[in-house]
Amino acid sequence: MLAPCAGTVKRAVGDCDLVMVLGLLGAPLVSLQLWRMVHGKPVVVVTQMMPKELESGRPRWLRLVKRVLLGRRLDYVAQTRATVETLRHLYSIPVDRITYAPFTPALQTSGEMVNLRGSGCVRIAPKGELRLLFVGTLHHLKGLDVLLEALGQLQAERFQLTIAGVPPVDEPQYWEELRRSERYRAIEGRIHYAGHLNPHELAAVYREHDVLVHPTRKDVWPKVIEEAMSFGLPVITTTHCGSGAELVKEGKTGFIVRAGDALALRGAIEKLVEDRKRLAGMRGYLEHHWDRSARRAEETRQISGLLNRILATAGGRWRTN
């Protein structure tokens, strides 16, 4: 596996003044390290999500290998604050070699969702059931089973859950087993399964709900969080969601709970069940302060600045036209 990667890397490095790597890849990163030492070409690693909690749980030998590789003379673009903290404190990367550039995906679907938002979002009722929404692939990593376990600990008449999404074509068993499980059947009367939705249908669903719950076990930057917030929905997500720490202001635009912790998830949901005034305040804040354009401008500025600094040493300059 290493030989083909090395050949590809050799051709790329030979033709370029600077090499950028998206993500902390295995064999390609090793190859780049070797060729960087031979050719002296600068290497910039762009990584979007490295939560310290998740990295600390990796095998010790793997962390040691990463420390050796990452400790070489590389520059890093960290696209979440959690990644900055992990690089600094877990892998001892000097702060002057880390550029924080907040990640903002230019996804057509997310942009379309924002355009479909229109003006004004549906206001929540002061009483009655809390309208919860889950949007995503029905896969183990998305943590829907944790959400069902959490809801099983609440009084059924206090919530309604809509599930929008379908299982992967090559891995349908998670959803099939979940629908047959006791935790699903116990609250089945409070669940509406919407399946796959097109952008117009999904926009309507966002307008009809109060809160997005994204109980992921591991996610870099799920677009559903940005979509939901653009519609004024507070978000409850986990410590293993890259965009959670970036976008969710604890207690102000949502809550972040420990991944896989059904009890903590239930507690976050219960806060909004009990305090509709707080929920209304969160939605009002999002409607007046949500803006993706500022994040995209900052991302572009930081990355362009880093590339210009690196290339300036070789007499070149990065252009963003």
Question: Does one domain contain both 33 and 173?
Answer: no
Question: Does one domain contain both 205 and 286?
Answer: yes
**Torsion from C-alpha of 183, 185, 187, 191, nearest 10 degrees:** 110
Question: Does one domain contain both 201 and 67?
Answer: no
In a domain? residue 234:
yes
Long-range (24+ apart) CB contacts under 8 A made by 83-92 are 83/47, 83/48, 83/49, 83/50, 83/51, 83/242, 85/52, 86/50, 86/51, 86/52, 86/55, 87/47, 87/50, 89/52, 90/52, 90/55, 90/56, 90/63, 91/63, 91/66, 91/67, 92/67
Cα distances from 190 to residues 150, 157, 183, 185, 306, in angstroms, run: 13, 8, 12, 10, 51
In a domain? residue 321:
no
Per-residue pLDDT of the chain (321 residues; tens, 9 = 90+): 344 455 665 665 566 677 777 765 555 566 666 666 656 667 777 776 666 777 777 788 877 877 777 776 678 888 777 788 888 888 888 888 888 877 765 444 455 555 555 544 555 555 678 999 999 999 999 999 999 999 999 886 789 999 999 999 888 999 999 999 999 999 999 999 999 999 999 999 999 999 999 999 988 788 899 889 989 999 999 998 888 888 899 999 999 999 999 999 999 999 999 998 999 999 888 877 766 555 555 666 777 777 777 767 655 544 443
Cα distances from 276 to residues 121, 124, 191, in angstroms, run: 16, 8, 21
Residues in a beta bridge with 135 = 164
Instruction: Catalogue the E-assigned strands of 41-150.
Output: 43-47, 75-78, 98-100, 130-135
Question: Does one domain contain both 278 and 194?
Answer: yes
Which residues form the domain of 39?
A: 2-104+295-312
Question: Does one domain contain both 24 and 138?
Answer: no
pTM assigned to the model: 0.74
Question: Does one domain contain both 86 and 216?
Answer: no
Q: What is the pLDDT of residue 317?
A: 47
In a domain? residue 317:
no
Q: What is the bridge-based pairing of β-strands 159-164 and 130-135?
A: parallel
Question: Does one domain contain both 130 and 94?
Answer: no
In a domain? residue 8:
yes
Q: Alpha-carbon distance 252 to 248, whole Å?
A: 8
Question: Does one domain contain both 208 and 237?
Answer: yes
In a domain? residue 318:
no
Q: Could you say which DSSP state residue 159 is in? A: E
Our count of domains for the chain comes to: 2
Cα dihedral 220, 29, 39, 84 sign: positive
Q: What is the pLDDT of residue 34?
A: 60
Q: What is the pLDDT of residue 319?
A: 44
In a domain? residue 112:
yes
In a domain? residue 225:
yes
Q: Alpha-carbon distance 238 to 247, whole Å?
A: 12
Question: Does one domain contain both 166 and 188?
Answer: yes
Question: Does one domain contain both 138 and 12?
Answer: no
CATH number of the domain residue 162 falls in: 3.40.50.2000
In a domain? residue 68:
yes
Question: Does one domain contain both 92 and 125?
Answer: no
Cα distances from 234 to residues 12, 169, 214, 218, in angstroms, run: 44, 30, 11, 20
Q: What is the pLDDT of residue 145?
A: 97
Question: Does one domain contain both 38 and 7?
Answer: yes
